[in-house]
């Protein structure tokens, strides 16, 4: 059961553009990556998790100008908003890189100089149909009715002097790396997509601009600043160099988690840059799909259908939001964000399946055993070895939604076990201890496997049943007894949503979200404390 022969795991996400506030797409990616980071940590891997912001470029310079701010002051403000959101979502990143930091520029200059020395950067003339929102030029065939294929808005023709990276020269080397490393791009459909694109000609890449200033100047020509990708992609290594050098320790075990729109940059441009600079390649690029609106449309400000993660967290709690993202969106695929689906899963899977299970076991322990549950000294009657194995096989296959499914099947099995054994009717004390003890042991496994999905809910389960969530290996040792207490419901029944007032800026809105430190972490706002009645046997 190991996906990392070295026992190390370095996981990164795309660094977000802070030109606006974060949306559900940003939150989605960080939650998915956080799941994998936490799953690696509880397996005992030496794990490092990086997220951050892509702060340079014309788009940021223009957004700052619109607010009458200097770009640095503008990104400093936005960085706070992003970091607050990610802290609220319980993202367990070890570092947060910002491309305006000196430590970042230091590595960018290093890799740029190496590629330059090798003769792979030259001055040329750039012409492109450019979309300011995408920060990207399109070929004529990529345009849709002459407009940007992503935003549907008009592009502008850009013609200017630029430095180019000889990307074309590295096409065969990159292709051969992808061919000989089947796990380099996952899922496999994305790998096939890139391999087929690599059968065609690959053009050199324009990497600098002289028409704006908000970027890292080129060492050989300070009248130019680096253009998006050479700058942004370097973050994955620049963050490993300061304050201490962690490159040797982590780099060859790197997994990049990125959206499908930036597949090419991570699987072709970045490897080519690394080969040209003489650096080893990361282990894997895992590509996720997009969060769409409930009707399956792309989210956009223009359509007014952007889902705000803060609003969903306020209504359902951070645990439920994380659960929904990991459970309802098949790994690698696009998925629709539906409040109706979230509501249903909240009631049935979180409330009835998990929330009620915890309450009924804690109550049984309290009423039947005075709160002290002796451990069966083994798994008891709900053996979970195969569950743990399947769960981590799904983690290794980057099929997190199946890992959640595996856990939920076990949760339901535990509920069914209690329904069959009917401990509330058992008179024999040894038998009673065996059944309740087996259920507590099952919940210990459940809390551990739930931790990467819903960290604070998992801790609340543990607190109620008298154990701690730690490494998976701890599950094979058994204490003498557990001290169980009945806590408040994990996922209290929700009243029908009230009419919401118009959205406020995130910094103000954030204050009303339940804090991480509450009894059950960031559970749903408890408008009502009624528990569910479907599994009514917690007598």
State the number of binding residues for ligand MSP (CB under 6 A): 19
**Any contact of residue 232 with ligand MSP (CB under 6 A)?**
yes
For residue 147, the Cα-to-chain-centroid distance in whole angstroms is: 31
- Taking every pair of C-alpha atoms in the chain, what is the biggest distance, in angstroms? 86
Taking CB under 6 A as the criterion, the residue among 9, 11, 16, 492 binding ligand MSP is: 16
Of 257-265, 374-382, 390-398, 417-425, which segment contacts ligand MSP by CB under 6 A?
A: 257-265
| Dihedral angle, C-alpha 507, 513, 518, 520, nearest 10 ° | -140
3 state SS of 9: strand
Lookup: tokens for 216 = 């890292």
Of 22-30, 80-88, 198-206, 374-382, which segment contacts ligand MSP by CB under 6 A?
A: 22-30
Lookup: tokens for 107 = 């590595």
Q: Which is nearer to ligand MSP, 262 or 358 (CB)?
A: 262
Active site residue 177: no
Shortest CB 334 distance to ligand MSP, Å: 8
Give residues 172-231 in contact with ligand MSP (rule: CB under 6 A): none
**Any contact of residue 315 with ligand MSP (CB under 6 A)?**
no
Residue 53 contacts residue 59 (beta carbons within 8 Å)? no
Shortest CB 56 distance to ligand MSP, Å: 10
Active site residue 266: no
Active site residue 256: no
| Rounded distance between C-alpha atoms, residue 488 and residue 299, angstroms | 36
Active site residue 23: yes
For residue 37, give the nearest of 77, 10, 18, 62 by alpha carbon.
Answer: 10
**Any contact of residue 28 with ligand MSP (CB under 6 A)?**
yes
Burial (CB count <10 Å: 0-12, 13-18, 19+), residue 276? buried
Q: Is the dihedral of CA 271, 272, 273, 278 positive or negative?
A: positive
**Any contact of residue 258 with ligand MSP (CB under 6 A)?**
yes
Taking CB under 6 A as the criterion, the residue among 187, 215, 259, 437 binding ligand MSP is: 259
Active site residue 26: yes
Of 24-32, 34-42, 142-150, 315-323, which segment contacts ligand MSP by CB under 6 A?
A: 24-32
Q: State the Cα angle at 130 between 145 and 80, rounded to 5°.
A: 120
Annotate each residue in 45-84 with x if it binds ligand MSP (CB under 6 A) or - if it does not, as one string: ---------x------------------------------
For residue 489, give the nearest of 443, 456, 520, 535 by alpha carbon.
Answer: 520
Catalytic residue among 109, 114, 134, 177: 134
Q: What DSSP designation does 355 have?
A: I
Q: Which is nearer to ligand MSP, 16 or 315 (CB)?
A: 16
Active site residue 109: no
Residue 329 contacts residue 291 (beta carbons within 8 Å)? yes
For residue 383, give the nearest of 410, 407, 418, 405 by alpha carbon.
Answer: 410
Q: Which residues bind ligand MSP (CB under 6 A)?
A: 14-17, 25-26, 28-29, 54, 232-233, 235, 258-259, 261-262, 290-291, 299
Q: What is the set of active-site residues?
A: 23, 26, 131, 134, 148, 151, 298, 301
């Amino acid at each position: 059961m190991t996906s990392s022969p070295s026992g190390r795991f370095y996981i990164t996400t795309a660094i977000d553009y802070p030109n606006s506030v974060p949306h559900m797409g940003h939150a989605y990616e960080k939650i998915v990556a956080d799941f994998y980071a936490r799953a690696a940590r509880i397996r005992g891997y030496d794990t490092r998790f990086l997220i951050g912001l892509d702060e340079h470029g014309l788009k940021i310079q223009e957004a700052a100008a619109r607010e009458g701010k200097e770009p640095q002051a503008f990104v400093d403000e936005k960085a706070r908003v992003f970091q607050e959101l990610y802290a609220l979502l319980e993202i367990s990143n070890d570092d947060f890189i910002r491309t305006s930091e000196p430590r970042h520029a230091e590595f960018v200059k290093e890799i740029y100089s190496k590629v330059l020395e090798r003769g792979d950067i030259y001055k040329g003339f750039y012409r492109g149909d450019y979309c300011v929102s995408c920060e990207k030029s399109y070929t004529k065939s990529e345009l849709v009715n002459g407009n940007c294929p992503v935003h549907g808005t008009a592009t502008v023709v850009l013609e200017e002097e630029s430095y180019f990276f000889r990307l074309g020269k590295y096409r065969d080397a990159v292709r051969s790396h992808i061919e000989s490393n089947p796990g380099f791009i996952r899922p496999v459909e994305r790998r096939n997509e890139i391999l087929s694109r690599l059968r065609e000609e690959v053009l050199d890449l324009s990497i600098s601009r002289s028409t704006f200033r908000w970027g890292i100047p080129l060492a050989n020509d300070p009248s130019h600043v680096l253009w998006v990708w050479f700058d942004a992609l370097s973050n994955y290594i620049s963050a490993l160099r300061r304050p201490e050098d962690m490159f040797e320790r982590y780099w060859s075990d790197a997994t990049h988690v990125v959206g499908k729109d930036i597949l090419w940059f991570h699987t072709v441009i970045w490897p080519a840059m690394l080969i040209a600079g003489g650096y080893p390649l990361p282990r894997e690029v895992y590509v996720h799909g997009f969060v769409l609106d409930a009707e399956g449309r792309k989210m956009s400000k223009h359509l007014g259908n952007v889902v705000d993660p803060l609003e969903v967290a306020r209504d359902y709690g951070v645990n439920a939001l994380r659960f929904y993202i990991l459970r309802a969106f098949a790994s690698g695929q696009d998925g629709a964000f539906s409040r109706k689906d979230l509501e249903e899963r909240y009631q049935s899977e979180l409330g009835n399946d998990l929330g009620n299970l915890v309450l009924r076991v804690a109550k049984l322990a309290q009423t039947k055993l005075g709160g002290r549950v002796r451990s069966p000294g083994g798994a008891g009657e709900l053996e979970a070895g195969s569950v743990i194995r399947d769960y981590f096989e799904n983690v290794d296959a980057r099929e997190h939604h199946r890992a959640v499914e595996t856990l939920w099947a076990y949760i339901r099995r535990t509920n069914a076990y209690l329904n069959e054994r009917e401990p509330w009717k058992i008179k024999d004390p040894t038998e009673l201890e065996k059944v309740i003890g087996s259920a507590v042991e099952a919940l210990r496994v459940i809390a551990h496997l739930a931790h990467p999905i819903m960290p604070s809910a998992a801790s609340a389960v543990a607190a109620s049943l008298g154990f701690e969530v730690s490494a998976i290996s701890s599950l094979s040792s058994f204490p003498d007894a557990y001290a169980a207490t009945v806590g408040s419901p994990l996922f209290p029944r929700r009243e029908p949503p009230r009419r919401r007032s118009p959205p406020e800026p995130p910094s103000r809105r954030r204050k009303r979200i339940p804090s991480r430190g509450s009894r059950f972490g960031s559970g749903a706002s408890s408008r009502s404390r009624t528990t569910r009645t479907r599994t009514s046997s917690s007598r």
